């Protein structure tokens, strides 16, 4: 039933793609028709009403294929860039289709996006809107002429990362999307028509009409100082981002600074925040590498934890007296009552730090990228939040408090000097990727108190981790041979990356292998998956560095099916979390490419036609000879590695498999 459903979904998707390449239907297709302008340029259009259309895009050679790999149907769409718009494009005010004329009133979303050879575009006066990402990443686009006098809106990221040097906002424009001119390195001249009712410009800086909101300080401006006008109450997201000339900014009346407003301003070394400031959003000063000090005004009510992410030279943080929400001590930022440590200045040069006893929570990214700390001691901390000690490359020793209950996502990511940790008996939860990339960490003992899910990915990239054990009194988990299981051994959770075992047979009680359970294992050469295993999670044997495994033995006579997976990701363009769907893969590409998959006798064809098993390049069956019993010759206690192995058909083999009869050194042997 599931497979029929998948086929139905895929066939419906195929029908959608078929419509996309049809030029004679008005639907959700990328384009509806194309026309050739007066100079011979082919331009594609989408019909928006009975009499209007917008410029859109198409890809040449949209090759759509439908196939079934085993029971999993797939659709593949391949694109070519050869029909992207190039050179100088003149958009006409009218377009013809089947003898009917349409007025061109818009430039659709992504219409010219990433047309890297586009240098010039002429936009007709009939255009009233420019859609999201319309010219984004047209890196050679330097000439957009005069924007049409009837233009009403410019969408999100419309001209991001283009080569334009000047732009005039017409009087008709009343809507500007999110960061429409981000990353335009040569943009130096920005003006607004005098009679525009929504926007104005002063000294090439864009504001709303009342000059209470600073919308854009162009990247190409070369001033080294800028006093924000006293009328400005708000600075929009990424308003100053990527300007490399600005060294000093002074504010007097600003109340809110938006996301990333001063990020990547690599010359910015001095910032004076206004005494009226109330809030700073995420990443406000992100990657401002010359910023060495900051004073938080008494008026500030809210700050995101990562506002100084990447400010590697920030040494001094102070909060003015009288602030009701924040406090500092020795250049460390806390909540007012000091129960939450918010930021330890990235460039503080202490080699050790004792977290104050009042602190219950270490906030997100609190110690991010500090290169000097070697030792941290906690006494009362209950929670370490996401990324708290990420990229602390000198951190060698951590003393956790006996009250610690939670370690967050990537909390100690890439702390490459950390060799050992002692987790307290109070700990309940260790999140995914908590110790990812701690490549000097050799051993971990999981206490009896841990009750939340244990992830195989928790210790991803811990290439020295040879020992991982669970306290025998833990009621939820257990360990055996440095492998972590649920208490009833039905689920295999984590195999220590540097486990000394080279030939591992998964216990017969196991029915589930968790995500990333065997992530990037180093020494393991052969794995036997028993018939008891009924569910392999996506990425059970993941990691591009899994090069040691040369043999996977699967004892299931019916291949386990891939399944639909949902993946969350951050859509930077739309500034939102989104989901995508894909079919699970149990094994990494490297395993599928170089390892032998050994399957039960008579099952090779089944595995070759079942996704994702079909990704294996080398699938063999366990050898059977029809001989029901055999007595082996005297088997020496050790066999030299240079002795050749043959099967009973005289074929030379690299190794003996299970349940076979082999010839080695002129003697008969039973399989391993």
Percent of the chain with pLDDT over 70: 81
Q: What are the structure tokens assigned to 153, written together?
A: 């809106």
Written as six digits, the tokens of 213 are: 């909101």
- Please indicate, yes or no, if residue 672 is contained in any of the structural domains: yes
- Structural element, H or E, at residue 4: helix 2-20
Residue with tokens 């590697």: 312
Q: What phi, psi does 578 have (nearest 5°)?
A: -135, 170
pLDDT surpasses 70 at 383: yes
Which domain, by its residues, includes 81?
A: 1-187
Question: Is 91 inside a domain boundary?
Answer: yes
Q: Which two tokens stand for residue 307?
A: 């506002």
What number is the average pLDDT over the span 34-47? 92
Higher pLDDT, 564 or 44: 44
Tokens of 191: 């003006």
CATH number, domain containing residue 138: 3.80.10.10
What is the value of pTM for the model shown?
Answer: 0.78
Give per-residue pLDDT as tens, 110-151: 999 999 999 999 999 999 999 999 999 999 999 999 999 999
What CA–CA distance (Å, rounded) separates 83 from 660? 58
The pLDDT of residue 639? 41
| pLDDT surpasses 70 at 14 | no
Identify the band that residue 306 occupies on the pLDDT scale cut at 50, 70 and 90: confident
- Range from 240-244, 521-525, 612-616 that averages highest in pLDDT: 240-244
174/22 Cα distance (integer angstroms): 36
Does residue 107 sit within a domain? yes
Q: At residue 391, does pLDDT exceed 60?
A: yes
| Bridge partners, 604 (sequence order) | none
Q: Is the pLDDT of residue 421 over 50?
A: yes
**Number of folded domains in the chain?**
2
Does the residue 163 lie in any domain? Answer: yes
Ranking 92-96, 107-111, 453-457, 566-570 by mean pLDDT, the lowest is 566-570
Please provide the average confidence, as pLDDT, over all residues in the chain: 86
Rounded to an integer, what is the distance from CA 159 to the centroid of its chain? 24
Query: Within 13 Å and on the Cβ side, how many CA atoms surround 279?
Result: 11
pLDDT over 70 (residue 657): no
Q: How many whole angstroms separate alpha carbon 462 and alpha carbon 498?
A: 8
What does the pLDDT average to over 378-385? 98
Q: Which one of 187, 208, 233 terminates a domain?
A: 187
**Cis upstream peptide for 612 (omega within 30°):** yes
- Residue 461 pLDDT > 50, yes or no? yes
What integer pLDDT is reported at residue 132 of this predicted model? 95
Does some domain include residue 352? no
Higher pLDDT among residues 639 and 501, named by residue: 501
Predicted confidence band of residue 544 (pLDDT cuts 50, 70, 90): low
Residue 222 vs residue 61, higher pLDDT? 222
Asked whether the predicted pLDDT for residue 64 surpasses 60, the reply is no
Q: Is the pLDDT of residue 62 over 60?
A: no
- Residue 83: pLDDT band by 50, 70, 90 thresholds? low
Question: What is the share, in percent, of the chain residues with pLDDT greater than 90?
Answer: 70
Q: How confident is the model at residue 630 (pLDDT cuts 50, 70, 90)?
A: very low
The residue whose two tokens read 């070697």 is 374
More confident residue, 21 or 435: 435
The stretch 524-540 carries a mean pLDDT of: 91
Residues 282-286 have a mean pLDDT of 95
Does residue 177 lie in a domain region?
yes
Which of 133, 161, 187 finishes a domain? 187
- pLDDT of 173 over the 50 cut: yes
The answer to whether position 231 is within a domain reads: no
* Residue 18 in this model has a pLDDT that exceeds 50: no
- Can you say how many angstroms the Cα of residue 232 is from the centroid of all Cα atoms in its chain? 35
CB-based contacts of 155, cutoff 8 Å, min separation 6: 109, 129, 130, 131, 132, 133, 134, 177, 180
Taking the C-alpha atoms of residue 598 and residue 575, their distance in angstroms, rounded to an integer, is 46
| In a domain? residue 487 | no
**Last residue of one domain, picked from the residues 156, 187, 218:** 187
Residues 6+ apart with CB under 8 A from 665: 639, 643, 644
pLDDT above 70 (res 249): yes
pLDDT in the model for residue 272:
98
**What number of residues does the chain have?**
672
Question: Per the structure block, which two tokens stand in for 541?
Answer: 């044997």
Greater confidence (483 vs 547) lies with 483
What pLDDT does residue 157 have? 95
């Amino acid at each position: 039933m599931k497979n029929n459903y998948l086929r139905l979904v895929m066939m419906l998707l195929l029908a959608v793609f078929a419509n996309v390449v049809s030029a004679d239907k008005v639907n959700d297709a990328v384009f509806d028709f194309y026309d050739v302008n007066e100079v011979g340029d082919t331009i594609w259009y989408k019909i928006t009403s009975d009499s209007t259309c917008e410029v859109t895009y198409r890809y040449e050679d949209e090759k759509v294929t439908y196939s079934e790999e085993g029971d999993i149907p797939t659709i593949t769409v391949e694109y070519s860039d050869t029909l992207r718009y190039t050179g100088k494009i003149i958009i006409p005010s009218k377009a013809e289709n089947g003898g009917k004329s349409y007025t061109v009133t818009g430039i659709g979303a992504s219409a010219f996006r990433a047309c890297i050879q586009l240098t010039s575009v002429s936009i007709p006066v009939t255009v009233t809107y420019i859609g999201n990402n319309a010219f984004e990443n047209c890196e050679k686009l330097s000439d957009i002429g005069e924007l049409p006098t009837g233009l009403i809106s410019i969408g999100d990221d419309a001209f991001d990362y283009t080569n334009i040097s000047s732009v005039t906002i017409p009087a008709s424009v009343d809507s500007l999307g999110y960061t429409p001119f981000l990353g335009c390195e040569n943009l130096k001249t920005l003006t607004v028509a005098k009679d525009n009712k929504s926007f104005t410009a002063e000294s090439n800086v864009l504001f709303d009409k009342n000059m209470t909101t600073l919308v854009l300080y162009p990247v190409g401006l070369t001033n080294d100082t800028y006093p924000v006008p006293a009328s400005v109450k708000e600075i929009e997201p990424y308003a100053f981002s990527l300007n490399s000339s600005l060294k000093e900014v002074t504010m007097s009346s600003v109340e809110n600074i938006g996301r990333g407003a001063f990020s990547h301003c690599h010359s910015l070394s001095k910032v004076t925040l206004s005494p009226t400031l109330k809030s700073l959003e995420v990443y406000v000063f992100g990657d401002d590498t010359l910023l060495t000090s900051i004073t938080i005004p008494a008026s500030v009510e809210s700050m995101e934890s990562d506002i100084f992410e990447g400010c590697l030279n920030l040494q001094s943080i102070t909060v003015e007296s009288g602030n009701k929400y924040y406090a500092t001590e020795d250049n460390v930022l806390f909540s007012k009552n000091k129960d939450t440590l918010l930021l330890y200045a990235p460039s503080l040069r202490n080699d050790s730090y004792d977290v104050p006893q009042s602190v219950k929570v270490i906030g997100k990214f609190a110690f991010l990228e500090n290169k000097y700390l070697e030792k941290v001691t906690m006494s009362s901390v209950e929670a370490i939040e996401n990324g708290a000690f990420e990229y602390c490359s000198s951190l060698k020793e951590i003393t956790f408090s006996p009250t610690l209950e939670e370690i967050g996502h990537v909390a100690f990511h890439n702390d490459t000097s950390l060799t050992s940790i002692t987790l307290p008996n109070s700990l309940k939860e260790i999140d995914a990727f908590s110790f990812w990339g701690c490549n000097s960490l050799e051993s971990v003992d999981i206490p009896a108190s841990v009750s939340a899910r244990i992830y195989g990915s928790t210790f991803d990239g811990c290439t020295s981790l040879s020992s991982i054990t669970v306290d025998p009194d833990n009621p939820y988990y257990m360990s055996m041979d440095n492998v972590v299981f649920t208490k009833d051994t039905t689920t295999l959770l984590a195999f220590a990356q540097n486990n000394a075992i080279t030939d591992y047979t998964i216990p017969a009680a196991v029915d589930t292998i968790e995500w990333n359970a065997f992530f990037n294992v180093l020494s393991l050469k052969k794995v036997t998956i028993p018939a008891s295993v009924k569910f392999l999670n996506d990425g059970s044997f993941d990691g591009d560095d899994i090069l040691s495994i040369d043999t996977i033995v699967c004892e299931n006579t019916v291949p386990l099916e891939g399944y639909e997976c949902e993946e969350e990701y951050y859509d930077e363009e739309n500034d939102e979390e989104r989901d995508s769907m894909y079919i699970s893969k149990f094994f990494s590409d490297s395993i599928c490419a170089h390892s032998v998959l050994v399957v039960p006798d008579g099952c090779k064809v089944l595995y070759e036609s079942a996704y994702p098993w079909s990704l294996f390049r080398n699938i063999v069956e366990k050898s059977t000879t029809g001989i029901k019993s055999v007595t082996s010759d005297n088997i020496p206690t050790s066999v030299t590695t240079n002795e050749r192995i043959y099967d009973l058909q005289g074929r030379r083999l690299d190794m003996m498999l299970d349940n076979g009869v082999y010839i080695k050194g002129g003697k008969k042997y039973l399989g391993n």
